[in-house]
Chains A and B, each alone.
Chain A
Amino acid sequence: MAVTEVPKIITSRFADPEGHTLARYEATGGYEGLKAALAKKPAAVIEEVKSASLLGRGGAGFPAGVKWGFCPPGVFPRYLVVNGDESEPGTYKDRLLMERDPHQLIEGALIACYAVGCSQAFLYVRGEMAFAQERIAQALNDAYAAGYVGKDILGTDFSVDIVLHWGAGAYIVGEETALIESLEGNRGMPRLKPPFFPAAKGLYLQPTIVNNVETLANLPWIARNGGAAFAALGAENSKGTRMFAVSGHVRNPGVFEVEFGVTTFRDLLYAPVYGGGIRNGNELKAFIPGGASAPWLYPEHLDVPLEAATVGKLGTMLGSGAIVVFDETTDMVKACLRLVRFFARESCGKCTPCREGTSWLEKILERIVDGHGRPEDLDLLLDVCDNISVGMNWPPKQTTICPLGQSATTPVASAIMRFQNEFEAYIGAPSEITVEVKGPAFVGPVVAREEVTADA
């Protein structure tokens, strides 16, 4: 086990009931990172973040410093959009960062604006998070009054407004181009990339950096302690620390900041300081490693470190840091249906494979759970998946503008390929699978299947 002692980079104020106030924030190193950044050239701040190798914490895991560099030179104004629309099932970290340490996020946003040269920032908080909106509104009001935000920040020539914006209930808006559409007052439907890469053509078709809340929350620490200190933690390309929400059938579900790249799934699920093991002494059946969109992993993967590239090689992802644990009592067919239903409900309807595919997947799975499934349904489900996500490979091949549709196929392929016998028990007859599924996480080691009888 590798439960490492590392500094808490982004959750250091979580235990402090007053950690959200400006006074406590300032008393615990708050806005020192901004001061350190303002003493440097903006380009030097970008270099510092690049040297930290800070991977984006929203889901895609793209290096933040590199993303900043994609703004075309000489094109202004540039905007910063903070993505606080956390809604990937299983994910619970950005809401905590916004509620418990709003100034840390504001400071991170300011450092990003200074480094990239953004003339205005928009902090997009998920609509359902009323408390986070209150905490951020209060923090912004206090930060304006104290001279940290707005005109001539801390007496320098750096000036930027941060506008609190809030959503109204749509998972798809977490996708960066859909978020920009939403911020422009439209239905939150993704834009085609290219040409609408936000760094080139984002908000109002201007260069726009869209960064996740957790990503930005790391910046004050990096600015204070240096990129090298951050990169000294972690392993391979996964540096620093990262927040993981461990939910489901563990004894101590919780949100933990752990050393990235070093800690293993076993540590996170079983160590007493983290998940504490499976509830009631039950057996682990499967776990989702990175939110509802991620292909599932199984007990044989427990010793894999939480390292982005390593997990990627298994054919899945750490995504948004959401680990959902299933014990032996879990009905995987029902779990699969619930996940698919989520994607069917949240499909924005722009692309046909996703709009039609997700709702048909839901209907067929509902039929199976209701006891009217047919032996050919498993092949039919995988065939629909194959039409949304060709070959069910990893990373998925896009047939749509954004990856929502492909995400809906992962619980189907995961559940059918691993737990075919549970589907057959619902259907009451054996079935044959002819559709080829390629993703490595779906076609792991063959598991012995139980005999299925007609009266099962």
Chain B
Amino acid sequence: MARLSPDNLTHALEIVGRYPMAKSAMIPLLHLAQEQDGYVTDDAMEHIAELVGTTPAQVLGTCSFYEMFKREPVGTYLVNICTNISCQIMGGEELLHHAEQKLGVKAGGTTPDGTFTLEDVECIAACTEAPCLQVNYRYRHKITIDEFDALVDDLRGGKLAAQIPPHGTLAKVRQHIPADRAAGTADPAGVPEPVWLAKNAEGAER
């Protein structure tokens, strides 16, 4: 497994082309690799290193810093339960303990059938909707224990497949800059003063 597929390579090159320095595309490309394989493989990191002009060790260095990148397979559904302060005081820890019982794994573990990985995560910015969780980074607000059980059953039964793609896919809508509308990247070594700033020197208010 698995360098980027031809389709993903095309998309990767489009992403790289948006940045003045190719290495800036590193995190988006790691996400693309994770979308393809469900986790970030060593082969993908080597491929990314080639694409952004750095070493595989540099790619691993970046990859290993960020919590969302998994370097070994995880469940189809990554269930992230927030236990940070606003959720903690509204039952987030109890929800996590219940989830551990329900799924039969401790936080950080994956169910034997490879369907669920459970994580105990930091604040995910839904504090007024506590306790909250994400499944593959899709929010569920103010979730009760019964609702959690129903969510697990629905996921197991494939009822939410349209809403929640398998782990690795983040945004399903991608930015696309049409060639005829692009202003172009701003090379740090070679862009002069923007033309519109010349207006500042004009005498009269336009």
Chain A residues with a Cβ under 8 A of chain B: 39-44, 74, 76-77, 79, 86-92, 94-95, 114, 117-120, 126-131, 133-138, 140-141, 144-145, 147, 149-151, 156-161, 163-171, 182-188, 203-206, 245-249, 253-255, 288, 292, 322, 324, 326, 330, 334-335, 338-339, 342, 345-346, 348
**In the complex, how many angstroms separate the beta carbon of B205 from the nearest chain A beta carbon?**
7
Please tell me the number of chain B residues within 8 Å of chain A, measured between CB atoms: 73
Interface of A is mostly: mixed
Measured in the bound complex, the distance between the Cα atoms of B127 and A140 in whole Å is: 28
Closest to A182 in B: B27
Are A246 and B195 in contact, CB atoms less than 8 angstroms apart? no
Q: Which of B156-183 contact A (CB under 8 A)?
A: 170-178, 180-183
Contacts of A348 in B (CB 8 A): 65
Residue B150 is within 8 A (CB to CB) of chain A in the complex: no
Is the pair B205, A44 in contact by a Cβ cutoff of 8 Å? yes
In the assembly, what is the distance between CA of A253 and CA of B202, in Å?
Answer: 52
The residues of B with any CB-CB pair to A shorter than 8 Å are 18-21, 23-28, 30-31, 52, 54, 61-62, 65-69, 80, 83-86, 88-90, 122-130, 134, 136-139, 170-178, 180-188, 191-197, 199-200, 202, 205-206
9 A-B pairs whose Cβ atoms sit less than 8 Å apart in the complex: A76-B194, A90-B123, A117-B197, A119-B194, A127-B170, A130-B170, A137-B171, A137-B175, A335-B88
Complex alpha-carbon distance, A185 and B25, angstroms: 6
Chain A residue nearest to B204 in the complex (CB): A41
Evaluate contact between B18 and A324: CB separation under 8 angstroms.
Answer: no
Residues of A within 8 A of B88 (CB): 334-335, 338
Docked complex Cα distance between A313 and B54 (Å): 48
A248 contacts across to B, CB distance below 8 A: 85-86, 89-90, 130
Which of B127, B183, B192, B200 contacts A150, CB < 8 Å?
A: B183
Asked if A292 and B85 make an inter-chain contact with CB atoms under 8 angstroms apart, the answer reads yes
Tell me, in angstroms, the Cα distance from A153 to B69 when the chains sit together. Answer: 37
A130 and B27 form a contact (CB under 8 A) = no
- Given A130-B170, A206-B188, the answer on whether A141 and B176 have CB atoms closer than 8 Å is yes
A338 surroundings in chain B (CB, below 8 A): 83-85, 88
Residues of A within 8 A of B173 (CB): 133-135, 137-138, 141
18 new A-B contacts at CB < 8 Å, known A168-B66, A247-B86, A255-B128:
A42-B199, A76-B194, A87-B123, A90-B85, A92-B127, A119-B183, A119-B186, A126-B125, A136-B175, A138-B173, A144-B181, A158-B194, A159-B183, A168-B68, A185-B26, A247-B127, A324-B89, A330-B89
Q: Which of A129, A136, A288 has the most CB of B within 10 A?
A: A129
The list of the 5 closest CB pairs from A to B, nearest first, reads A185-B26, A168-B66, A169-B67, A119-B186, A77-B191
